[in-house]
Structure 1
Amino acid sequence: MNHGKLREDKTCLNCGHHVEERFCPHCGQENIESRQPFHFLFTHFIEDFTHYDGQFWKTIQYLFTRPGRLTKEYLAGKRQLYVAPVKLYIFISFLTFFIPNILPHAKEEAEKPSHIKKETRAKNQKDISKDLVKKLQKEGVLSHETAATTQKGLDTLQINDGKEKDELFDSTFDPQEASIMHAYTIKQYDSILAKDNTGIYSLMRPVAEKVFELKEDGYSKNQIWEKYKENFIHTIPKALFVYLPIFAFFLWLFHNKKKWWYFDHGIFTLHYFSFLLLAIMIFIVGEKIASFLPESSLLTLLYVLVSLGLGLYMTIYFFVAHHRVYETKKRISILKGSLLFIVNYIGLILMFLALMYLSFIMLH
């Protein structure tokens, strides 16, 4: 890659020292012309970020295929051969944000939210059935006894249907179902909330309010879930960044405080989370590609197998990296690794639950 045209003057523009070759021996600045072609802005940016002299690709190769190797090398002082841990994490985070946004998805809905007349559905199926039976009885089509028998049958069907579906969540998370926790409007929801003693309706009210707000703007329930899924995926790198110091803290708790400093655990965490982000990016790209494949094909089967294999590798990776870096006996390493894995798994699950809740509320 072109580093820019060298200056004939051998005096460093930055510190004034004499420069024999390309870089100043005093401050390290490259002795190139201060004015360069416009494309130099982009090539220099890419070079600074990825070090195409081999540093970047070697770092990525070791990160993905040799668990723990980068951390050991860095802690041993071999730092010029690889991309610095913080820069590596930031760059992979950037890719994880950027790539999903530029890739098309074959199964995305082309339908746009139509800002047409707002529709509400204040009555559920049971109410409509009651009204119909009463109307037929009033018009003389059904006798009193027949109407009572019919209504009883409809009630039985309603109960059976409720047994087949989870009373609280199935209809809520079914994209084709119009209700949210058995409510079709926010007023209906508040009426149910007033009678609720479990606290679930109070907890879920901001979510329900957001759904009804988006539905009033013309979004279908299916579109809302798609919107939410996309928003949630984009917040994963942010969530992992927030969890970085927590993960390092748990490592610090489980290891010798004299031998291993918090800094050491931080380097291990940065490398491990960089790997996780890289794997997540591969999952996202794979899902985008798979959306163009036929549902029943050999390539789709291959994609599923690769995804399962990558998921398994993500789990094994931590144990291998942990054993290589901390150099403990296998049994102790497996025991500590298992405890750390469980503790952080619970921590990540709790954080992602909170993230899912907040991500939905912040939809727009």
Structure 2
Amino acid sequence: MEHGKLRDDKTCLNCGHQVEERFCPHCGQENIDNRQSFHFLFTHFIKDFTHYDGHFWKTIHYLFTRPGTLTKEYLAGKRQLYVAPVKLYIFISFITFFLPNILPHAKEEAKNSGHHLQIKVDQKELSIHILPDLQKKEVQPHKDAATTQKALDTLKKKVIEEKSDFFDRTPDTKETSVMDAYSIKQYDSILAKDKTGIYTLMRPVSKKVFELMEEGVTKHQIWKKYKENLIHTVPKALFIYLPIFGFFLWLFHNKKKWWYFDHGIFTLHYFSFLLLDVLILIIGEKITSFLPDNNSLTLLYVLLCLALAIYMMVYLFIAHHKVYETKKRISILKSSLLFIVNSIGLILMFLVLIYLSFITL
């Protein structure tokens, strides 16, 4: 570990007291030169967060393997042995949504999918455009006309079925439909006859899609932009939901014994655990993308994901029982109600998030 160069002046720059050694006895600031190398700044940041004395790794270990322990220790006053809850959540949140953007992904998958897509496009182009021309010019043998026409009808039917989605999956970017409409005017015509309310709800999204298409943005670019927008919005949404989760905890427990602050600490630790699990799943997906296709490896990865998902649900019950020290039956009942209520809340929040992310493209 590199240490900063000590200043010749023994007067602390922070509080003005005399510094006999490296650290000021009054405020604790290190008496080093203001200007340091980038390597020093980076290593100093890592040291400041992880402490290099096991605090960080001990916190992560307890967070993942001992549900509720960190919260109980923190509320008991043991706060110097672990990373602070807010600091821990911010760090894990940053890593979870930053690391996936810099990790490489197997290129073969994209290459192969692009190759298959091109074959699919060529087949449709050949069947829909070229074969009819050959028939008209009598280049194709007459005896094969019936067979060709039957295959052509099948392909056309498949294309129509693909266009039945909200966003059709056809490769032709010039004929992209949105809920069976090819313009906002046509969409409004369908909306006027719709009695379900779906077209009314989706009109802002459709309008945004048509506006982007008029600007020359392809549907592939729209989806890519939407995905990026959604990913950048998720951490903000989770952060917003933190006090809501804490509020539900406050409703379900004794107001005199447990303060909202206590529920807030529990919430920060629980959400840090959830983000850590998401990070593990993302890293696992990145790793498996480089592995060869193997049924055993795929099954193993699926089982690990399933086990982690189950652990994410069970974790809440264990942590709740350990922190709030209620009877098992009461703890299970309260945890179940909290799980259901917050699951509904998170689902509704993400539905709104998906909707707003598209509108704000």
CA contact (8 A) 1:4 1:32 kept: yes
Q: How big is the shift at 1:184?
A: 2.4
**Given the superposition, is the C-alpha separation of residues 224 and 296 from structure 1 closer, same or farther in structure 2, using an over 3 Å criterion?**
farther
Q: How big is the shift at 1:165?
A: 6.9
The match for 1:172 among 166, 180, 183 is 166
Once residues 201 and 96 of structure 2 are traced to their aligned partners in structure 1, the CA distance between those partners, rounded to angstroms, is 31
Letter in 1 for 2:270: Y
Q: What residue is the counterpart of 1:328 in the other structure?
A: 326
Q: What residue is the counterpart of 1:129 in the other structure?
A: none
**Given the superposition, is the C-alpha separation of residues 295 and 52 from structure 1 closer, same or farther in structure 2, using an over 3 Å criterion?**
same
Once residues 186 and 39 of structure 1 are traced to their aligned partners in structure 2, the CA distance between those partners, rounded to angstroms, is 55
Once residues 322 and 170 of structure 2 are traced to their aligned partners in structure 1, the CA distance between those partners, rounded to angstroms, is 49
Letter in 1 for 2:256: K
**Given the superposition, is the C-alpha separation of residues 312 and 240 from structure 1 closer, same or farther in structure 2, using an over 3 Å criterion?**
same
Q: What residue is the counterpart of 1:339 in the other structure?
A: 337
RMSD of Structure 2 on Structure 1 (CA): 3.2
Q: What residue is the counterpart of 2:13 in the other structure?
A: 13
**Given the superposition, is the C-alpha separation of residues 229 and 35 from structure 1 closer, same or farther in structure 2, using an over 3 Å criterion?**
closer
Once residues 3 and 253 of structure 1 are traced to their aligned partners in structure 2, the CA distance between those partners, rounded to angstroms, is 49
CA contact (8 A) 1:293 1:300 kept: no
Once residues 229 and 170 of structure 1 are traced to their aligned partners in structure 2, the CA distance between those partners, rounded to angstroms, is 22
Q: What residue is the counterpart of 1:247 in the other structure?
A: 245
Once residues 351 and 25 of structure 2 are traced to their aligned partners in structure 1, the CA distance between those partners, rounded to angstroms, is 52
Once residues 215 and 262 of structure 1 are traced to their aligned partners in structure 2, the CA distance between those partners, rounded to angstroms, is 48
**Given the superposition, is the C-alpha separation of residues 346 and 315 from structure 1 closer, same or farther in structure 2, using an over 3 Å criterion?**
same
**Given the superposition, is the C-alpha separation of residues 281 and 5 from structure 1 closer, same or farther in structure 2, using an over 3 Å criterion?**
same
Q: What residue is the counterpart of 1:61 in the other structure?
A: 61
Q: How big is the shift at 1:223?
A: 4.9
CA contact (8 A) 2:7 2:32 kept: yes
Once residues 84 and 3 of structure 1 are traced to their aligned partners in structure 2, the CA distance between those partners, rounded to angstroms, is 25
Letter in 2 for 1:300: T
Q: What residue is the counterpart of 2:27 in the other structure?
A: 27
**Percent of paired sites with the same residue:** 76
Once residues 230 and 181 of structure 1 are traced to their aligned partners in structure 2, the CA distance between those partners, rounded to angstroms, is 23
Once residues 252 and 350 of structure 2 are traced to their aligned partners in structure 1, the CA distance between those partners, rounded to angstroms, is 24
Q: How big is the shift at 1:96?
A: 1.7
The match for 2:315 among 308, 314, 317 is 317
Report which of the two has the higher share of helix: 2
Q: How big is the shift at 1:41?
A: 1.9
The match for 1:198 among 196, 199, 214 is 196
TM-score (norm 2): 0.78
Once residues 65 and 176 of structure 1 are traced to their aligned partners in structure 2, the CA distance between those partners, rounded to angstroms, is 47
Q: What residue is the counterpart of 2:99 in the other structure?
A: 99
SS in 2 for 1:357: helix
**Structure 2 alignment gaps of length 5 or more:** 115-153
Residue 89 in structure 1 maps to residue 89 in structure 2: yes
After superposition, the C-alpha distances for 1:70-98 in whole angstroms (9 at most, x for unaligned) are 11111111111111111111111111221
Residue 228 in structure 1 maps to residue 209 in structure 2: no
TM-score (norm 1): 0.77
CA contact (8 A) 2:164 2:180 kept: no
- Aligned positions, number: 317
Once residues 109 and 362 of structure 1 are traced to their aligned partners in structure 2, the CA distance between those partners, rounded to angstroms, is 31
Q: What residue is the counterpart of 1:132 in the other structure?
A: none
SS in 2 for 1:281: helix
CA contact (8 A) 1:96 1:281 kept: yes
Letter in 1 for 2:345: G
CA contact (8 A) 1:244 1:269 kept: yes
**Structure 1 alignment gaps of length 5 or more:** 113-156
Which stretch of structure 1 is more off in the superposition, 77-86 or 175-184?
175-184
SS in 1 for 2:179: coil
